[in-house]
Structure formats: structure tokens, C-alpha cells
Amino acid sequence: MAEQFIIERLGHQGDGVAPGPVFVPRALPGEVVEGVRAGDRLGEVRIVAPSADRVKAPCRHYQGCGGCALQHASDDFVAAWKVDVVRKALTAQGLEAVFRTIRTSPARSRRRATFAARRTKKGALVGFHGRASETIVEIPDCQLLDPALLAALPVAEALAMAGGSRKGVLSVTATLSEVGLDLAVSGGKPLDGPLQQALAQLTERHGLARLAWDGEVIAMRAPPVQRFGAASVVPPPGAFLQATRSGEAALLEAVREAVGDARRIVDLFAGCGTFSLPLAERAEVHAVEGDRAMTAALDAGWRKAQGLKAVTTEVRDLFRRPLMPDELAPFTAPFEAAVLDPPRAGAEAQVAELAKARLPKIAYVSCNPVTFARDAARLIAAGYRLNWVQVVDQFRWSAHVELAAAFTLADTTGN
């Protein structure tokens, strides 16, 4: 039997939340909705009274595709909601902050995506999974991805035909590089001689920069270079990369302001050098990262670049072995600023040591407002000031929120 509900708010996954709680996909606060309740979910949803913030989804695939969650909401609504997600996370820790205007990446700007590909009786099916479903939805007119990235769809289809099975699903991570598509595939058939030959031929036929199969590079027509400031870096297959160029630029701008004129910087969770290498234009940088291959790519990029100051690297698991105060602030030449860009779990162990080391400036980049707020509370309790928060939305139309923030010791002057 159908029931009616009034949506009170959005949950962290972008669903509407009615009293109960009852979760309603693609509903907005204030809307009256009707549907069939199954546990805490509402299905067969009909919007009885729409919100003024409801808009027509710009993508024709939105109804079935699970790649986006918020195309039915106006840009202004989504921007305000994402800032509020961060504000509420800080409030839960008893904190306040100055928020700068959100920076949102434009449509059709994603340079990296992971496609699902499956062989079928008639060929292959490639796209994104449907919402909470194993069904693959084709997305030839996706409004999220850079048009150049859509060129990976027919390649993924060919990969499924060559090395997929009808029982399994290939995961094809496609990244735009300076010289073409960089693909990393997992979930396919075991690699043997005939398959390796077929994949190498496919790489040539489609003009790929590089193709990796379950972590092994099959063919590389040209190194898939990414530019970080003045340096050219060739990341390992499938390595982390900021989702959009504009999002990366916004985060880098915030980090540069947060570290100010620091002459020695430690970059923690440094990846392939997204921040380390541009910062080296003006400062010496020590880059620490747990992944050896990413660290090697960063180091190679620095060594080939011209005009950068010294960049040293260290392979280290910062969750198990955070840098200690005597390493962060040695008597001889202490670091003047730290950059933190941890995964979703945050940097609890490392933040505890940073708080003891009392570096003058900290730039914190986060993809999880909850763990960021937890870590921010620890820094503030240790005498730091949270100067400002910059929310960056490079995962447009999703519930994902990223941010950069600037901390300084309360008894020092910082930017």
C-alpha cells in the first residue's frame, strides 16, 4: 500500500530522509512523496509536491544510471548542501569555521572513471552500474565525463570481448593523460600468451597510451604523463589522481595559500606529487607516501624537472608509523609547514604527532568531512586555529564532498 511522507533533509548519500527514518532516493527537503515502503526504504516513488529546487536532470541516462545522485537538484541547492555537510561535521565536534565560496567543477570535466564491462551473447555491455544494482547501464551521452574519456567506452567493450567472461564483470579504470588514454583493467581472465598478444594489438588499434591487466603493464605506446606544476609524472597503473583538473587546481591554490612562504614543507600522504611538486617551485619538500610505486613516480618526475628545489621522498605507512615530533621538528632544520591529504579514514595517528610537533602551518585536504572534523578538533585542542575551510566539489552531482583547510598555531601569524 502506498504511503505519503514529507522529506525533512538529505542524508550523507544524497537520499531524502523522512521521519522514521525512511530513505527516499532522489527526493529533496520539503517535498511530499508517495511510495511503497520496504523496511527503511521507499520504492516506486512519486513526487506529489516538488521542491522549488527540483530541476530536470541534464543527462538522459540519469533515470537508470547510478553514477550520479543529485542531478534532480539545482546547482545552488547542491552547493549549499555540500558546504552544510562540512559545517555540521565540525559542529558535531564543537567547532566553527569561516567558509569560503565553494569551488565546483564544470560538467563534462571528469578525467578519470571506472567502467563496468561484461560480455553478452551479442557482444559486450559497458557503462556504470545502476543505482544499488548489478545492472550495467550504457552511458554514451554522459554529462559527467570529459568527452575525451568517453572514447574509452568502445575500448572497454573490446577488452570485455577479448578477456572478459559472461559470468564476471571487468573493472576498467580509464584516465586521461597528456598523451592519450591510460587504462587499468581488473577482474578479467588470467593472462596467458594469446590474451597478452590480443591485448597488445588492441592497444595499438585504439591508440592507447598504456594498458595494464591486473596490475601488469601489457603495452605502453607512450608514457601516460600527468603534469604536476613544472614536473611530468608517469603514475603507476590505476594510481590515485584528482578527479578533475579544475578541482585539482582549486585544492592546490588552497594548499599554497595555507603553507604561505614556508621554506621547508613535509607532504604527508603525498601520492604521486600532486602537491609536492608544485610546492617545490618555492620550497624544499619531503614527500611521504605508503605506496612505493607512487613514491618512485614522484621522485622520477622531480629528477627530470627543471628549476625545482630539493624534493626528498620516503616510503612509509603513516597509519602504522606516523612521523614523530623529532622527525617533524628536528633541532637542525624543522619543517615550517605540513600538507595532509589522507584517504577517507583521515590521519588520526599522524595528527596526534603533528599536534605535539607544533609546526607553524598545516594545510589539510580531506575527502571525508567527518574524519576531517575529528582531526581538526585534535589540532585545535593542541593550540591550532582553523583559519578557513574551502569546499571543493569535483565530484559533481554526487554526494561526495572534498575540502581544503588552513591551520596555524594560535600564537603565530599565518596566512
- Count the neighbouring beta carbons within 10 Å of the beta carbon of residue 171: 16
Distance CA 216, CA 85 (A): 39
Torsion angles phi and psi, residue 154, rounded to 5: -65, -30
243-268 CB burial, b ≥16 within 10 A, e <16: bbbbbbbbbbebbbbbbbebebbbbb
**Residue 169, CB half-sphere, CA atoms under 13 Å: how many?**
14
Q: Indicate which residue of 65, 142, 272, 367 is catalytic.
A: 367
**Known active-site residue 65:** no
Handedness of CA 296, 297, 303, 309 (dihedral sign): negative
Distance in angstroms (rounded) separating the CA atoms of residues 347 and 15: 28
Q: Alpha-carbon distance 361 to 200, whole Å? A: 48
Chain centroid to CA 234: 19
Q: Strand pairing partners for 388?
A: 406
Q: What are the cell numbers at 156? A: 572497454
Closest CA to 141 of 73, 63, 69, 77: 63
Residue 55 corresponds to which amino acid? V
Q: Please identify every residue annotated as catalytic.
A: 367
